[in-house]
Amino acid sequence: MSDTDVKPSTATFDQFGLAPEILKAIDEQGYTTPTPIQAQAIPVVLTGRDVMGAAQTGTGKTASFSLPILQRLLPNASTSASPARHPVRALILTPTRELADQVAANVRSYATHTPLRSAVVFGGVDMNPQSDELRRGVEILIATPGRLLDHVQQKTTNLGQVQMLVLDEADRMLDMGFLPDLQRILNLLPKERQTLLFSATFSPEIKKLAATYLRTPQTIEVARSNSTATNVTQVVYEVAEGDKTGAVVQLIRERGLKQVIVFCNSKIGASRLARSIEKQGIVAAAIHGDRSQNERMQALDAFKRGEIEALVATDVAARGLDIVELPAVINFDLPFNAEDYVHRIGRTGRAGASGDALSLCSPNEKKQLADIEKLIKRPLTVERLVVDAPAVHHESGSRGRHDRGERSERSAHGHRRTGSFDRPHHRAQAVDEFFLKPYEPSPSARNAADDTNVTNNTVTPQKPQSKQPLAALLGGLGASWRNKPSSSSSN
């Protein structure tokens, strides 16, 4: 509701008037204090009013809409086995399968002491088990747009009794070309309903969507525009394009990173990088749109269990991943869209932990860097990184060979602090031609990430492209609520 820095939340969950069975689940989750978005959104959603919420994944936004939805559905909750007593009353739409899965897991745990049923449907997996679950009846349905329309078409679900709709990460849904699907779905819903739209950005497209489908929404913001999480240390390393793979290996080893997401701009780049760093002894897996849903889930689970050290991901695949206390993310490529930078670094420094966002920037990525700095409204620390030959295998914890130039100003990790790319000094390396492709700042370039198909070495767009202007990014969070106490101190 304000455009200023986040103030620590002084609210408590007790004061919202939530039912004891919901409060019990909150307690079991170990949440003691509502996050700022929860403190602001829960009372408004409980009144039945539409909401336009500016919040990213990582701010606690899922509970900010799920908890009041459960509360509002409780009067209609039924213990009857009859499907007719369990119509879909709340629909939550998300852009990606992973986010749908995570939201569904949260909803399930918050609803655990209520008779309310929930289900999740997304593409890339067999429809039949989803159809069976839908036929039995669920009050809360979490879905990606395409698969939901498949179910509607097959008449396994009916949306005629939806009272509450959530558009989660609406900006990303538009980015991914889901607007026509969204419109189709919205036309199937009763006009009398509550609509909650959450988005990291309030771009003109989002505002248009809200103006069409929301009724006098209450706007809720938790941080000032274009903010990045304050507990994330951001460093940009100048590095030659051909040194980037070696740089990733070096950063992982030097910093002893046991769990890191490495972001690439393309599916082929992600696969290639995962293979290359595996050859150098780092346990890695790639997740991107060409991997099946099961492969992606398996990789994510292995990563969460600590069996994979480096998860190499494209933006779309990584969207919404909730991995608590991820110590670092590495941007192998700087994203074509500056807003993706904020989403990427939001994967670290979550839930009270501090994190490092390490970005590799080659000389031909200066424009992307400038766009990021413009968006977050501050310059980033740029250090120079000299990379050891990729073939050299260091012992764990060994340090890379750094330039010991006289004018160097060493940082904690021994890299030279500098602010310019004017004096190229990188060693000549064998360069993978794929990574030498010049950046072409065309409007469609940003979607080259997951929305591309690589056939016979040509990259062709697959999905509709959207021209998203550099929109105000609203979200992020101050640190105070994140200091999640150990579960024993839950109230």
Residue 407 CB coordination number (10 Å):
7
Q: How far, rounded to the nearest angstrom, does the alpha carbon of residue 31 sit from its chain's CA centroid?
A: 21
Structure tokens at 30: 């170990």
The yes or no reply on residue 60 touching ligand AMP (CB under 6 A) is yes
Tell which positions 368-427 bind ligand AMP, by CB under 6 A.
Answer: none
Instruction: Let me know: does 258 contact 306? Beta carbons within 8 Å.
Output: yes
Binding residue (CB under 6 A) for ligand AMP from 18, 21, 25, 62: 62
CB of 479 to ligand AMP, least distance (A): 12
Which DSSP state fits 386? Answer: -
CB closer to ligand AMP, 36 vs 145:
36
| Structural contact between residues 37 and 60, judged by C-beta atoms closer than 8 angstroms | yes
Q: Under the criterion CB under 6 A, does residue 324 sit at the interface with ligand AMP?
A: yes
Closest distance of CB 477 from ligand AMP, Å: 9
Question: Least distance from C-beta 31 to ligand AMP, angstroms?
Answer: 4
What's the rounded Cα separation, in Å, for the pair 454 and 318? 20
Cα 327 to chain centroid distance, Å, stands at 16
For residues 11 and 294, what is the distance between their CA atoms, to the nearest angstrom? 40
Amino acid, res. 386: V
Distance from C-alpha of 102 to C-alpha of 88, rounded to nearest angstrom: 19
Among the candidate windows 32-40, 203-211, 332-340, 426-434, which touches ligand AMP by CB under 6 A?
A: 32-40
Q: Which is nearer to ligand AMP, 62 or 314 (CB)?
A: 62
58 scored as a contact of ligand AMP (CB under 6 A): yes
Closest CA to 254 of 374, 399, 72, 151: 399
Whose CA is closest to 351, among 31, 6, 3? Answer: 31
**Which member of 23, 46, 351, 470 binds ligand AMP (CB under 6 A)?**
351
In the bound state with ligand AMP, the residue whose beta carbon lies nearer, of 16 and 213, is: 16
The stretch among 34-42, 156-164, 289-297, 380-388 that binds ligand AMP (CB under 6 A) is 34-42
122 near ligand AMP, rule: CB under 6 A: no
Please enumerate in sequence order all residues whose Cβ is within 8 A of that of 81, keeping only pairs 6 or more positions apart, or say none: none
Residue closest to ligand AMP, measured at CB: 62
Closest by CA to 13, choosing from 1, 2, 25, is: 25
* Alpha-carbon distances, residue 49 vs 70, 106, 218 (angstroms): 15, 23, 7
322 binds ligand AMP per the rule CB under 6 A: yes
Kindly tell me which residue out of 57, 118, 163, 199 binds ligand AMP, with binding defined by CB under 6 A: 57
Q: Which is nearer to ligand AMP, 87 or 349 (CB)?
A: 349
- Is 157 a binding residue for ligand AMP by CB under 6 A? The answer is no
- Please, which residues have CB within 8 angstroms of residue 325's CB and are 6 or more apart in sequence? 350, 351, 353
63 binds ligand AMP (CB under 6 A): yes
Residue 170 lies near ligand AMP (rule: CB under 6 A): no
Residues in contact with ligand AMP, total (CB under 6 A)? 16
Among 18, 51, 61, 343, binds ligand AMP (CB under 6 A): 61
The least distance separating ligand AMP from the CB of residue 45, rounded to whole angstroms, comes to 14
Q: How many CB atoms lie within 10 A of CB 434?
A: 13
Nearer to ligand AMP, 60 or 242 (CB): 60
Strands, sheet with 355-361, edge to edge from the N-terminal-most edge strand: 284-287, 310-313, 260-263, 328-331, 355-361, 232-238, 381-384, 416-417
Position 484 contacts ligand AMP (CB under 6 A): yes
Contacts of 386 (CB under 8 A, 6+ apart): 400, 401, 402, 403, 425, 426, 427
Is 447 a residue that touches ligand AMP (CB under 6 A)?
A: no
Q: Judged by CB under 6 A, which stretch of 27-35, 75-83, 145-153, 262-270 contacts ligand AMP?
A: 27-35
Give me the least distance between CB of 171 and ligand AMP, in Å please. 15
Quick one: how far is CA 280 from the chain centroid?
28
Under DSSP, the state recorded for 201 is B
Site map (CB under 6 A) of ligand AMP, residues 126-155, x = contact: ------------------------------
Question: Which CB sits closer to ligand AMP, 99 or 148?
Answer: 99
Among 18, 21, 25, 35, binds ligand AMP (CB under 6 A): 35
Nearer to ligand AMP, 59 or 227 (CB): 59
Q: Is 31 one of the binding residues for ligand AMP (CB under 6 A)?
A: yes
Torsion of CA 300, 306, 312, 317, to 10 degrees: 20
Amino acid code (one letter) for 326? L
Task: Give me the 454-473 binding string for ligand AMP, x by CB under 6 A, dash otherwise.
Answer: --------------------
The three-class DSSP label of residue 222 is coil
- Give the footprint of ligand AMP on this chain (CB under 6 A): 31, 33-35, 38, 57-63, 322, 324, 351, 484
